[in-house]
Chain A
Amino acid sequence: MTRFIIRRLISIPLLLLGIVSIAFLISHNTQGDPLASIVSERQMDNPEVVAAAKARWGLDKSLPEQYVLYLRNLITGDLGTSFRTKQGVGKDILERLPATLELVIAAMILGVGSGIVLGVLAARFRNKPIDHAARLWALTGSSTPVFWSGLILLYIFSVVLGWLPGPGRLDPRSVPPEFMTGFLTIDTLLAGDFAAFGDALHHLILPALVLGWTVMGIVSRLVRGSMLDVLSQDYIVAARARGAGELRVLLNHALRNALVPTLTIIGFTFAYLITGAVLTETIFSWPGIGSYAVEAARNLDYPAIIGVTIVGGTAFLLSNLATDIAYAFADPRIRLS
């Protein structure tokens, strides 16, 4: 076990170095001029700014030296300064992190939860209409462009029906709660402001649904598959023979074991959710990292784009590591292979 974890941990710094190297490569080839990735066009004819940037990132030095400087700057948390916000990219990302996490966690709960329910139903009623409907629903979810379904749902539920609020995290007229966790649903509760809590929750529903729907499909297919494997095993037959109720067999006996291989979906879903969050946040004007990345890309704000890419890659890597370790804990056979 420990050996397995250590082996996986050793690969992490190497992969991180790889991520950073690719980022360096990208920033170095920006528009054919590395300076373009550090200094915005407007500042280009300001010799002071250009000289300062060159000195800080070592652009007048040799390539290996530049690489070392780049690494050193990154390790100290310096991801460069955004052209657009005029702030450090690291600071920008930290400010926006809670919004993205709140959305992704909500979407994960909705997507994984409904995916498991759907997967169990599909396995139990295999090749029956419920199974086919679940498959259709799941495939539709992973086939819908979130930037379109988000617009359509906003139009239906916010404009036509008026049931849910428009884009954003809170009613623009209201005062945001004091910053505690950055999760508005939690902060409003901590402040004891239930009206604001309801408002935050209402704002969260649509984007979380749109985002969650994209992963529900994968989750339900995986759960269905592993449920089918488990349901055909002897101990299930034995449990049924002993007279255990259907619900008890499904949930207590089968699902528990079926969920072990499904642990891998945590890594999968995270990848999907990051991808989806970029576009969902844009549609819902959600002030998270995703919409920050899109704004940066639209304005060719290179330090911000590359910074988000590094942070996203790192987060992705760590979530995969966590999944692997959780999986090894849950299923001893993995460690041996």
Chain B
Amino acid sequence: MLKWLFSTVFLLAGLSNLFAQVVTDSIKKTDTIPITVLNTYILRDYQGYDFTAGIRTYTLSPTLLRDNSSISGLSDALQTVGGVYMRSYGNGMNNAVTLRGFGPERTSTLWNGIPINNAGLGQLDMNLMPGGFFNSIKLIEGSSSTQYGNGAQGGSLLLEYHPDFNNKFNITLQQEFGSFFSWNTGVQTNYGNKIFQGRTAFLRNSSNNNYAYKDKATVGFPTKETVNANFFSYQIIQDLFFSFKKNWNLSFHGWFNYTDRRIPPPLGAANNNSQQFDQNIRLMTQLWKQIRFHGIKLQVAYLQDHLNFRTDAFNDSSLIHSGQVQLQYTYSSSKVFALISGGNFSVNYSEYQYYGNPITEFRGNVFIMTNWRFRSKSRITQAKLSAGMRQQLSTHYISYPSAHIGMDLTQHIKEGHSITACLAFNTAYRMPTLNDLYWVPGGNPNLKPEYSWNTEASFKYKMDLPWIDLSFDVMGYFGRTSNWIQWTPTIFGYWEPQNLTEVQSAGFEGGASFSLKKKKWKLNLQGHYNFTHATDVNNNFYQLIYVPQHSVKGTLELKWDEIYLTILPSFYSKRFTLSDNTQFIPSFFLLNLQAGYTLKLTSCAIGFFGRLNNVTHADYQMVLNRPMPGINFSAGINFYLDIQPNRQRR
């Protein structure tokens, strides 16, 4: 009876850690993305190959997701990555990624290879991306339009889920409770056999979100409770994978999001009961076949983005339908050479009131990328070279082609010691969004696409011994973007986007990591410094707004058997809020702690975890006059059941 009760309690509990049972390094700056074969089903798309030689790539590991994002948004996990700054409008509110000074509309997000940035706004809210529901998340830092298409000037975020065809049945449940009466519930189950695999996931988040803040708009700066900030969200993901004979593969994917958020006013402003609804429907099917060295993949996707924003005096609703067809051909003759070529065709349709008439816009691009690998006979020296090109077209434009050429050169000094030098040059582009083109009044059909070029070089020393790992890396980049689109007021009393200026993005990154393993002990230390000088060339080289020049991030993870403690300090320098750099938000230091314990049983595991955020109770803002919460906690429990009687456990 007790056993039954015990099981039931944990079955009612929930997820995050369990998406992350395999604890690995928290952040990996991959030198390469190996052609990893998860199983016979491996999705042989181009992300599987290293077409990004020379470009810095981060893999968000399960540990990182466990420690930061739990089952809610990706924003916290991304925040810990070196060059990332998240522009958050408050706890649980819109959270936009900024990379190398480029904002969210200049960062491309792909879901299983399909770009999903909102066609109207050109961006995505990272708080609506459920990090725990993807088992492969990569962040490509820097220009990567050749690989990932439109808007990848700051970088690209790749969200993927790969099935395991050895799986029979497993289920993960997690329940988390935290400050401000926050509840996160997650369920994910994987089921199937060697021919079919299904994945069903459900996530529910809610919070009163009434955190305390210092009201600097009231005499005496009294502490008040945030009003009109509660939110509710649920997401459902369904994947069906089929692996047929003769290397035919078919999959169906569905992702539904419904989020209802009240938007608190900024400090000193009246509460006008702002409310935002986001509803996204994403459907996709993939069909591909592999014949020896040749692979062909067809993807067809439908995306529907519904955004409703309302206040006491305003109600605005936009609905955009997007259809995409993507065809790719891959060739990989050996471990030496790989090629991918293909095209993406999309159509956007909207009847949004601010576009006047219904609009239909067609876009397309074609690309080719190649990858070579060289290795000396002694295997002391290894080199990877990638080069490629992409050409974008649309109803309005033919953009400049984007191109990439990059190289990684690794020299093994002696057993366990290596140095790697990377060099890349690439160009990128961003097409105007539907809002830029069609907004009435102001939409400007004469806009040109933005065009960027970027060059970067990095150097890494790595020591990889049986019980100790050590690495140092430095990286510098420099690039420019012309035809930068900015909305600006006109003499006619409305705003209009124009190709106003040129932006220069230059920076330096340095990092070190150290890990030590001894018996059941594991220590992992990481530190990262980032200098970003993203400036407006036509405006006295002033720093772009909301781009910190300096940031320092660290991770200290201590693990004994199945008990872990993670300490995550971070520091951001001041961020200008006016383009002439006369107003800024002060710098801040943030300290987060996580701890947990996983009890592993024969075919199941139970995890207990807790998080303490903003331990020093820092009074800080990511966006001007949008206070963030002080010290707060969350704690939870998860349950993982794995029924794999015939499976060799890894």
Pairing of A with B: no
Which B residues fall within an 8 A CB radius of A? Answer: none
